Structure 1
Amino acid sequence: MLVAAAICPCPPVLVPEVAAGAAPELDAARAACADALGVLAAARPDLLVVVGPAEQPGRGPFPQGSRGTFRGFGAEVDVQLGGSPEAVGGRELPPSLAVGAWLLERTGWADAPIEGLGVGEPLEAERCVRAGREIAGRAARVAMLVMGDASACRTLKAPGYLDERAAPFDAEAARALGAADIEAIKALDAGLAYQLKAAGRAPWQVLAGAAEDADLAGALLYDDAPYGVCYLVATWS
């Protein structure tokens, strides 16, 4: 059963070495993420599953010890998903899970086994919910670190340019995540999310499926749109 969740944004610029001179602009977001991960640790889970958006070939499950890197973003920073006697080979973590691994390393996570799941952005809501239910059944006490951004269309200089639908979409996502409103998250429009480049929609709906029988309360820790992209941090516990 799901006992806690942390929802965090997943831009590589969250890693200071990637952001370089602009790193201080996201200090508040990093601090909120650290607070959110503290909620996960306090829940003492038997299993932590990190879920984030991914393109092929980064979709599907990743075992503990999987590695990722930010070298493609100009920073010589490598990460590993959880501790392991010897890092496993195989596929490289997608950027969203690499950011999750970086957050966990930064906070010194060593509380439970960790697995990763890369979710395709177009995945239908029903399949996301089903995947979440399966995750919740993996252990007696399951925690989730859910990586994903809201819209990328809040300003003229945003990656998706300015779209007037972005602010209302983000406001509803922030409200639903902050309130742990499972039905509202399930109801987020996948087509609109795709148009607004809101990569968090599918991972959030995986969380909604995992939390169906958990009766968790939510808290919104951060809501801002630097660079025209909406980043949200929330906890469910």
Structure 2
Amino acid sequence: MNNKKLPLRKYSDDKSDISDEGGNNNFHPGLPNGITTMSRETYYQMMQFALAIQQDCTISPAVKGLILMMWTFIRHTAFPQLINPRELERQRSIVVSGIPEFLGKPSISCKADRQAAKNILDTLRIQCPIITAYRLGPKRRDKTRPLKIVLPSSGHHKDVLGRAAKLREIPDYENVFIRPALTQRQLKSDSKQRDICRFLNQRGHNVVVYSNAICTRTDPPIPVDLSKFPELSEM
């Protein structure tokens, strides 16, 4: 058996193209998204072993096939369960736009943001504790920052998003919008969809972004055929 060691591969987070709204990078080239720093080396060592087996001419095809099957099983069952803590937080987080921001003392601002988060859950009739709530980005006097709310489970996250549309039907929340926390790549796509919505609404079309698609503002929402608007190709 060829015992030649394969060169260790170096990983660089600064070359990743997937990060969350706080700029935290959760992607490593060549690894399933979500693999933790602690498990990364173990994962790669196992991958090195599997590749070395496949390249060794002294090992029978039957053994190679068995090892490849075992590696595939491990890769798709064990490692996807090792979620990066930042990615886990993102999957349980919502981002709320349109909530007035208190510009006084930082401690009072934090309390006000947490209370605003509690008020939203009370209004939506969702019973769960808030893990944390904080504003995204640097403080500005000319613009209110989005409020990020971290929930205790993905189930609560799903419940909030499922009832989010009803919030805008309630007085004092007409201009409040709730969406899931997104990666930087998702943010770019989301921003483009909202630009298209703004463009169409300015021309008399009543549309919204619903379930990652541009739809009519009806109940139920109906996806809009964007091919009917050739002017969108210039955006």
Determine if the TM-score, normalized by the shorter chain, exceeds 0.5: no
Q: How does the TM-score come out when normalised to structure 2?
A: 0.25
Q: Which has the higher contact order (CA 8 A, sep 6+)?
A: 1
Larger Rg: 2
With the length of structure 1 as denominator, give the TM-score of the two structures: 0.25
- The structure where helix makes up a greater share of residues is 2
